[in-house]
Amino acid sequence: MKNRFKIVALLLTFFCAVSFVNAKEINDSVALNGVKETKSVFLIDFTNVNKTAFYLQIIEGTHKGLVSQGVKPNMVLVFIGETVKFLSTKQDEAFEMENEEKLQEIQDSIKRLAKLGVRMEVCAVATKVFKVDNSSIPKEMHIIADGFISLIGWQTQGHKLVPIF
């Protein structure tokens, strides 16, 4: 009986080792070949609080993925349109009660992204159109005059556009 267990254990070890050797590492090494630093500007334009919360977490993962692959990310997020409503710390009471969890996820992501060194800009045209008080935008974010002008400026400085809508 002991020999049978030894044989099974030996076979399992062999198959695990073969599987490990044959497993391909999932990474972005081809796209990042020779890249030491990236410059990106994300255009964020959502009309949905859930989508906003989801993509902020995805962007965090993108930042961490670049770092883990030896690339220094230089990221800027530019928020335009209705998205600015979901960034505000002052919400309509009914909307806040209905979306409390997602709104908190957004605030948490903002704090984490800021700690990672990600610059976040909020379009003042959008805050005016959607009646968002600029003082309700988290301190980690920068109010800018015009999101489109910012995008033009960042792209002119060499940042690559990542549109998310």
Supply the pLDDT for residue 6.
52
Rounded to two decimals, what is the model's pTM? 0.84
- Give 88-119 pLDDT, tens digit per residue: 999 888 998 999 999 999 999 999 999 999 99
- Would residue 58 count as lying in a domain? yes
Given pLDDT bands bounded at 50, 70 and 90, which one contains residue 165?
A: confident
- Would residue 86 count as lying in a domain? yes
Q: Please give the tally of structural domains in the chain.
A: 1
- CATH number, domain of 117, equals 3.40.1260.10
Give yes or no for residue 19 having a pLDDT over 90: no
Residue 95, token pair as written in the block: 């909307």
- Would residue 105 count as lying in a domain? yes
- Would residue 149 count as lying in a domain? yes
User: What is the rounded distance in angstroms from the CA atom of residue 61 to the CA atom of residue 67?
Assistant: 10
Given pLDDT bands bounded at 50, 70 and 90, which one contains residue 133?
A: very high
- Would residue 74 count as lying in a domain? yes
* 19-28, 29-38, 57-66, 80-89: least confident range: 19-28
Better pLDDT: 39 or 8:
39
Give yes or no for residue 11 having a pLDDT over 50: no
Q: Average pLDDT, whole number, for the chain? A: 90
Long-range contacts, stretch 146-154, CB < 8 angstroms, 24+ apart: 147/43, 147/78, 147/79, 147/80, 147/121, 147/122, 147/123, 148/80, 148/123, 150/41, 150/76, 150/78, 150/121, 150/123, 151/41, 151/43, 151/78, 154/41, 154/76, 154/78
- Would residue 7 count as lying in a domain? no
- Would residue 5 count as lying in a domain? no
- Would residue 106 count as lying in a domain? yes
- Give 50-91 pLDDT, tens digit per residue: 999 999 999 999 999 999 999 999 999 999 999 999 999 998
- Give 147-157 pLDDT, tens digit per residue: 999 999 999 99
Q: Give me the domain span that covers residue 115.
A: 31-164
